[in-house]
């Protein structure tokens, strides 16, 4: 018995140690090095000196108007995107789990946008919401704001980011909700039908409570992804016009690579991490408490 346990432990080590090594090399070690850099003033060039400034980089954050503005943009974008992605994803899931004949085709088509890379997706929609709308407006002789170049207007640029992110993520979130819906026991739904429960009563009184594990996962994923958005932000709006759509991640990127403030940018990244971790942990703890046993 002891020999078998030792043999099993050897196999576990064979598969887990390389993964732990890769994780430590790619994630843990760079993270702690980055934390160390956040206490220095440095331009990122190896030959240039690193000047220890202690907590000054962190104190400086609170007087950085551009960083605080990007934080506001990120919060606004995240609130609207999370709501739309989850509402639309859940609606799609409810539709394709009915007796719809083309439900399998619909699932595939709705999921496909998620397979497109964020940078490519942003460039595609940049043409559609930029020059594409301008051509349509010119052909129709219209001066409507909805048919003008969205990416030249600060408000419409933010709307464009929300629309594109929702279009990309809703199909993926739909798959998670489909899994949750299909896990609901049929006898529970049949009992509700026998008792005279209508569609809305079944939805709000039975399906939603039993879907709380799916809500927990979907809210966690959408919150974290929306707060961290960078690729679509970069390719669709580039943070413009006039930094009106610059998000957390893009502000950090610009600080480090455009302005060569490596230490200060690292301090922003650490604060960014703490903010996301705090928000997602609170969300998970709140939704976990509302989960029910099936």
Map tokens 């922003």 to a residue.
268
CA distance linking residue 263 with residue 251, whole number of Å: 14
Q: Residue 1's pLDDT is what?
A: 52
Low-confidence ranges of the chain (pLDDT < 50): none
- Return the DSSP state at 52: E
Beta strands in the chain (DSSP E): 40-41, 51-52
The full set of domain ranges for the chain reads 64-289
CATH class label, 64-289: mainly alpha
Burial (Cβ within 10 Å: 0-12, 13-18, ≥19) of residue 228: middle
Predicted TM-score of the model (pTM): 0.86
Q: Residue 207's pLDDT is what?
A: 83
> Which residues have CB under 8 Å from 193's CB, separation 6+?
202
Q: Residue 203's pLDDT is what?
A: 81
Q: Residue 10's pLDDT is what?
A: 65
> Which residues have CB under 8 Å from 189's CB, separation 6+?
202, 206
CA distance linking residue 147 with residue 137, whole number of Å: 5
Q: Is the dihedral of CA 150, 151, 154, 157 positive or negative?
A: positive
Do 247 and 233 contact (CB within 8 A), yes or no? yes
Q: Residue 140's pLDDT is what?
A: 76
CA distance linking residue 264 with residue 251, whole number of Å: 11
């Amino acid at each position: 018995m002891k020999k078998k346990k030792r043999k099993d432990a050897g196999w576990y080590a064979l598969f887990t140690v390389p993964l732990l090594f890769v994780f430590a090399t790619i994630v843990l070690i760079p993270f702690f090095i980055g934390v160390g850099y956040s206490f220095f003033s440095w331009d990122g060039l190896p030959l240039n000196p690193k000047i220890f400034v202690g907590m000054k980089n962190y104190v400086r954050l609170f007087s950085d108007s551009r960083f605080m503005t990007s934080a506001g943009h990120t919060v606004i974008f995240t609130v609207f995107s999370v709501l739309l992605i989850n509402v639309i994803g859940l609606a799609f899931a409810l539709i394709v789990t009915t007796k719809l004949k083309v439900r399998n085709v619909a699932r595939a088509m709705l999921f496909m946008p998620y397979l497109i890379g964020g940078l490519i997706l942003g460039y595609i929609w940049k043409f559609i919401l930029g020059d594409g709308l301008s051509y349509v407006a010119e052909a129709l002789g219209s001066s409507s704001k909805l048919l003008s170049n969205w990416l030249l207007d600060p408000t419409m640029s933010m709307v464009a980011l929300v629309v594109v992110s929702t279009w990309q993520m809703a199909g993926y979130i739909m798959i998670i909700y489909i899994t949750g819906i299909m896990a609901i026991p049929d006898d529970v739904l049949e009992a509700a039908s026998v008792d005279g429960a209508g569609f809305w009563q079944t939805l709000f009184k039975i399906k939603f409570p039993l879907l709380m594990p799916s809500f927990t996962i979907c809210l966690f994923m959408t919150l974290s992804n929306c707060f961290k958005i960078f690729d679509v932000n970069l390719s669709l709006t580039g943070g413009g016009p006039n930094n009106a759509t610059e998000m957390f991640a893009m502000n950090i990127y610009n600080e480090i690579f455009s302005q060569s403030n490596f230490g200060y940018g690292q301090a922003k990244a650490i604060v960014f991490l703490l903010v996301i971790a705090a928000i997602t942990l609170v969300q998970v703890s709140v939704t976990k408490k509302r989960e029910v046993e099936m």
